A and B are shown apart, each in its own frame.
Chain A
């Protein structure tokens, strides 16, 4: 149990997916201009990462490994993720139109979000068991939402501040991210 708590805490804060692993930088910079859109994107990512890591783990352990074709990992995983995103989209449209409306525009973007494929591969590389996979995937994505939300709050304020001309847009956002990364790197001492 304590192992799981350590894993969860590491995934959530210490090895934050955006600030230390550099996965999912595109949505981090792209859809973090408003708090509401950051939250929407974050929830969509949570949904897809959780389902896709479970499906890819089962596929890898019971299909690819037993047939000893593990070298097809990358192709199989990306196909699973792409079709999953489509399925989630269709499913949500039918089951919960309100949620679909909120997440709809972010879903297609997720296929090319490297966080999803990255977490699926990291689960395999780190030899996680199924329970560990679920815990890791959910806390990694909670960390994603957490940092996205903080970042969006700062960026909303940033719109009203005088930024030097050359730093407008992406550069100043990256500097904010750097300051956040300094803060998060200090959490490493806790474990």
Chain B
């Protein structure tokens, strides 16, 4: 597998959220606004890239590897928790509003299954640079998935797209033109479950359609 494939597999083929269904809690909770999804994405990008790099660095030396192996999960957790603490402090200092709206979900990145999962499945068996690239790809794939869900929810729920702070697009005129009002339900918890269910079902439907096409082509030949 070359570097490019390694990077892009996180987007479609092995998307952590849509294919492996990992890291559900933050993805349902913070997707009320596009801004929150971007903030969460940046935090996960930082933590996942660095944690993959550091863990793979630790595991690449043979002596250290033998030493760590029996207690590797606690070691991973300490590495991840330290990185998360850095993110938490930086966000608290420079991005106060985002820190408030993400709330308890910033420290909860520690127990996000995606990060621990990549550490165990990829970083512990690959070279540091490959692991960092894998982490970047996975984090961007996760961010993309968060963006899709949050766009869906924010547009339907409030009729706006909040990109960053006061930078927002108001889509109210479309709603006025169609003489409908935004459905407030979509920014509530109910909307999180519903939108995620429909997006997952759409992806599954596309997959089924593709597989049917493939089998039809094979049977023709």
A interface residues, Cβ below 8 angstroms from B: 19-26, 29, 71-75, 77-79, 82, 111-114, 117-118, 121-122, 125, 164-168, 170-172, 174-175, 177-178, 181-182, 185
With A118-B104, A185-B190 as given contacts, are A26 and B208 in contact (CB-CB < 8 Å)? Answer: no
Instruction: Describe B's contact surface by its main secondary structure.
Output: helix
With A117-B108, A125-B104, A172-B197 as given contacts, are A71 and B113 in contact (CB-CB < 8 Å)? Answer: no
Query: Nearest-CB distance from A44 to chain B (Å)?
Result: 16
Instruction: Describe A's contact surface by its main secondary structure.
Output: helix
A22 to B112, CA, bound (A): 13
- B72-104 CB contacts (< 8 Å) to partner A: 73-74, 77-78, 81-82, 84-85, 88-89, 103-104
Query: Nearest-CB distance from A59 to chain B (Å)?
Result: 15
Stretch of B54-62, B154-162, B198-206 at the chain-chain interface: B198-206
Which residue of chain B lies nearest to A125 when distances are taken between CB atoms in the complex?
B104
B interface residues, Cβ below 8 angstroms from A: 21, 24-26, 28-29, 73-74, 77-78, 81-82, 84-85, 88-89, 103-104, 107-108, 110-113, 116, 188-194, 196-198, 200-202, 204-205, 208
Inter-chain contact B85/A71, CB cutoff 8 Å: yes
A164 to B202, CA, bound (A): 12
Inter-chain contact B28/A79, CB cutoff 8 Å: no
CB-CB under 8 A from B192, the residues of chain A are 22
CB-CB under 8 A from A166, the residues of chain B are 201-202, 204-205, 208
CB-CB under 8 A from B25, the residues of chain A are 22-26, 114
A172 to B198, CA, bound (A): 9
Query: Nearest-CB distance from A187 to chain B (Å)?
Result: 12
CB-CB under 8 A from B29, the residues of chain A are 21-22
Query: Nearest-CB distance from B19 to chain A (Å)?
Result: 11
Query: Nearest-CB distance from A162 to chain B (Å)?
Result: 15
Other than the given A20-B189, A22-B25, 20 more pairs (CB < 8 A) read: A22-B26, A26-B25, A29-B24, A78-B77, A78-B81, A79-B74, A112-B113, A117-B110, A121-B107, A164-B201, A165-B204, A167-B197, A171-B197, A171-B200, A172-B197, A174-B196, A175-B194, A175-B197, A178-B194, A178-B197
With A22-B192, A182-B190 as given contacts, are A71 and B104 in contact (CB-CB < 8 Å)? Answer: no
Which residue of chain A lies nearest to B81 when distances are taken between CB atoms in the complex?
A75
Query: Nearest-CB distance from A142 to chain B (Å)?
Result: 19
Query: Nearest-CB distance from A151 to chain B (Å)?
Result: 12
CB-CB under 8 A from A113, the residues of chain B are 111
A122 to B104, CA, bound (A): 7
Q: Can you report 16 residue pairs joining A to B where beta carbons are below 8 Å apart? A: A22-B24, A25-B28, A26-B25, A26-B113, A74-B110, A79-B74, A82-B73, A114-B112, A117-B107, A125-B104, A164-B201, A165-B205, A167-B204, A171-B198, A175-B194, A181-B188
A23 to B112, CA, bound (A): 11
Inter-chain contact A171/B82, CB cutoff 8 Å: no
Query: Nearest-CB distance from B174 to chain A (Å)?
Result: 25
CB-CB under 8 A from A182, the residues of chain B are 190
Query: Nearest-CB distance from A21 to chain B (Å)?
Result: 7
